[in-house]
Amino acid sequence: MFTVIITLTIIASVFGLILAYSAIRFKVEGNPIVDQIDALLPQTQCGQCTYPGCRPYAEAMAKGEADINQCPPGGEATIIALADLLDVEIKPLSEEHGVVKDLPTIVRIDEQTCIGCTLCIQACPVDAILGAAKLMHTVIESECTGCNLCIPPCPVDCIHIFEVEPTVRNWTAELPDAGPFAPHTI
C-alpha cells in the first residue's frame, strides 16, 4: 500500500512538472483575436473610430466595447470582413463616425496660400504632409489616407479634398449585388 502511494505521488509530481513547463513554454501572449481584427483594419491610424489607432479599436472590439461599423476608411468591405470574423450581423457604417465615400479621397494643399504653420503636420496621423515651419507644405499623396484630420486645424483653409479617380493601380472591384441566396446582406 505504501509503494502505491509513493508511485502515485511520483507520477502526479512528474505530470505536474510537465504541465508547469508547458504552461510557461507554450504561453500565448495577448489575445489572438485582436491580431486577427487588427489585420482586417486599414491601418490608417486616423482616429475616426474614436480610438487613437487601429490596434486600440481592435482591442475594444475584442472586448465587446466597440462595434464593427466605426471605421470610415475601411468602409463596407472591412465591416463585412469583421462581421464574418466575429460572427455578428453586418451593419451599415455608423453616421456618427463618417460617411461612405463613393471614391476614396486624398487632400492637397494649395501651396500659394499655405503659411507654413505646421498645424496640419501635427494633425496628420500617417505623416503624409511634408514641410517646415514658415515654409509651404505639401501632401505625399501615396501616403494620404483621406482621413481629413488635417483640414480643421488649418487657419487659412488651404487644404482641399479630392477624389481619387480609379486607375489601373488603385482600381478595386465593386461588391456584387446581394441576391436572395447571399450569406450577408446589409
Are residues 60 and 111 located together in one domain of the fold?
no
Residue 27 confidence (pLDDT):
79
Residue 173 confidence (pLDDT):
61
Does a structural domain hold residue 186?
no
Are residues 82 and 115 located together in one domain of the fold?
no
Q: Collect all residues with Cβ–Cβ distance below 8 Å to 78 and sequence separation of at least 6.
A: 40, 41, 42, 71
Which pTM value belongs to this model?
A: 0.60
The rounded distance, in Å, linking the Cα atoms of 47 and 149 is: 9
Residue 61 lies in domain: 32-86
Alpha helices (runs of H) in 119-158, residue ranges in sequence order: 119-123
Are residues 81 and 109 located together in one domain of the fold?
no
The Cβ of residue 72 has, within 10 Å, a number of other Cβ atoms equal to 22
In our burial notation (b when 16+ CB lie closer than 10 A, e otherwise), range 89-120 reads ebeebbeeebeeeeebbbbebeeeebeebbbb
Does a structural domain hold residue 129?
yes
Are residues 65 and 120 located together in one domain of the fold?
no
Are residues 105 and 159 located together in one domain of the fold?
yes
Does a structural domain hold residue 121?
yes
Are residues 78 and 120 located together in one domain of the fold?
no
CATH number at residue 82: 1.10.15.40
Q: Comparing C-alpha atoms, which of 39, 110, 117 is closest to residue 78?
A: 39
Are residues 76 and 121 located together in one domain of the fold?
no
Are residues 105 and 81 located together in one domain of the fold?
no
Does a structural domain hold residue 91?
no
Are residues 37 and 69 located together in one domain of the fold?
yes
Are residues 79 and 116 located together in one domain of the fold?
no
pLDDT tens string, the chain, 186 residues long: the values are 889 999 999 999 999 999 999 888 887 777 789 999 999 998 888 888 889 889 999 999 999 999 999 988 888 889 999 999 999 999 988 888 777 677 778 899 998 999 999 999 998 888 899 988 888 889 998 888 888 889 999 999 999 998 887 777 666 666 555 555 455 544
Rounded alpha-carbon distances, angstroms, from residue 104 to 56, 75, 80, 141, 165: 24, 10, 18, 12, 8
Rounded alpha-carbon distances, angstroms, from residue 35 to 84, 100, 136, 152: 15, 25, 39, 32
Beta bridge partners of 161: 107
Does a structural domain hold residue 13?
no
Number of domains in the chain: 2
Outline where DSSP puts E strands in the chain.
105-109, 129-130, 138-139, 159-163
Q: Which amino acid is at 144?
A: C
Provide the greatest CA pair distance for the chain. Answer: 95
Does a structural domain hold residue 110?
yes
Beta bridge partners of 159: 109
Does a structural domain hold residue 65?
yes
Does a structural domain hold residue 63?
yes
Are residues 79 and 108 located together in one domain of the fold?
no
Are residues 114 and 161 located together in one domain of the fold?
yes
CATH number at residue 121: 3.30.70.20
